[in-house]
């Protein structure tokens, strides 16, 4: 029985590995996308970064900028798809889509798995707590030496932040999507939800049972306040597509239209300015 189980496990691992290799080997190039006349772009249904509205239209900082870039590249049709945040990178590796427009934070570990554009956005952190903030929580560090439980979305970089701050994993509650955050906090399954400031604010606006933690302090890790830089992600063999997007993104970020798009989704002037302060090569090496 143990041998059969081991054999099955090895078969599954081999199949997964071959799928990843096959996906990477057939990652879309710019020429293939242009010949196809359509590009496949994925989002994680996270407002305001990338989501589908009630009419089925793609919205958010990532999709709106992606639409302008694709138009400039002569690609008229975008095939949008949504998936859980934790499935975005595996989806690229398996060639289920060509680009991720979820403003996914550019992190060294992720840079080993996918290609990134230069940053399109920058954003800070936040916490969503129960109405009235009964535990007086105002920072990620409040979970380092307490019994409080913190909810984190699967695949989100807040996990690494909490680990760096010494939060025990037994007090981390993993949820599959932002849609589960309100009920998780409101019912007391977790004492707060860690997310970006924009996500926390958006979620809190949807329920009178939760609120954003006031007087929030960004976490300090390795002596520096934590700030994220989000960009478009591509499969490892999609250099030509990534390079073309980078060229158009650089030009587009110099326009008023780019500023208006990000501002309309709640990004501040400080966020817009910060988006130019780090390059992808710097973020991948840090």
What are the domain boundaries of the chain? 2-122+231-285, 125-225
The CATH number of the structural domain formed by 2-122+231-285 is 3.40.190.10
pLDDT digits (tens, 9 = 90+) for 125-167: 999 999 999 999 999 999 998 999 999 999 999 999 999 999 9
CA distance 207 to 283: 35
Quick one: how far is CA 284 from the chain centroid?
Answer: 15
Two tokens, residue 233? 């992600």
Residue 108 has pLDDT above 70, yes or no: yes
In SS3 terms, 255-272 reads as: CHHHHHHHHHCCCCHHHH
Residue 25 has pLDDT above 70, yes or no: no
Given the candidates 3.90.45.10, 1.10.150.450, 3.40.190.10, 3.40.50.300, the CATH classification of the domain at 125-225 is 3.40.190.10
CA distance 249 to 232: 10
CA distance 60 to 52: 8
Fold: same for 2-122+231-285 and 125-225: yes
| Interval 207-229 mean pLDDT | 93
- Band the pLDDT of 217: cuts 50, 70, 90: confident
| Interval 252-271 mean pLDDT | 96
- Band the pLDDT of 16: cuts 50, 70, 90: very low
Q: Number of C-alpha atoms within 13 angstroms, CB side, residue 286?
A: 16
Residue 26 is predicted with a pLDDT of 63
């Amino acid at each position: 029985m143990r041998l059969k189980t081991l054999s099955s496990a090895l078969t599954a691992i081999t199949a997964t590995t071959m799928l990843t290799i096959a996906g990477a080997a057939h990652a879309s190039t710019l020429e293939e996308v242009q010949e196809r006349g359509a590009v496949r772009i994925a989002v994680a249904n996270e407002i305001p970064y990338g989501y589908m509205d009630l009419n089925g239209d793609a919205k958010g900082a990532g999709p709106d900028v992606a639409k302008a870039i694709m138009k400039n590249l002569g690609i008229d049709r975008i095939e949008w798809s949504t998936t859980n945040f934790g499935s975005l990178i595996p989806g690229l590796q398996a060639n289920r889509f060509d680009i991720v427009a979820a403003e996914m934070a550019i992190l060294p570990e992720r840079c080993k798995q996918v290609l990134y554009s230069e940053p399109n956005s920058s954003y800070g952190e936040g916490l969503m707590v129960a109405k009235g903030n009964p535990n007086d929580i105002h920072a990620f560090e409040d979970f380092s030496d307490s019994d409080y439980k913190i909810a984190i979305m699967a695949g989100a970089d807040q996990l690494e932040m909490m680990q760096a701050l010494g939060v025990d994993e037994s007090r981390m509650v993993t949820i599959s999507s932002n849609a589960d955050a309100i009920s998780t906090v409101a019912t007391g399954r977790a004492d707060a939800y860690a997310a970006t400031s924009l996500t926390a604010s958006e979620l809190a606006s949807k329920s009178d049972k939760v609120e954003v933690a006031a007087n929030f302090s960004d976490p300090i890790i390795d002596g520096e306040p934590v700030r994220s830089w989000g960009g478009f992600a591509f499969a490892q063999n999609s250099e030509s597509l990534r390079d073309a997007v980078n060229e158009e993104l650089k030009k587009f970020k110099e326009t008023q239209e780019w500023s208006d798009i990000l501002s309309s989704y709640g990004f501040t002037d400080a966020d817009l300015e910060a988006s130019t302060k780090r390059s992808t090569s710097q973020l991948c090496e840090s």
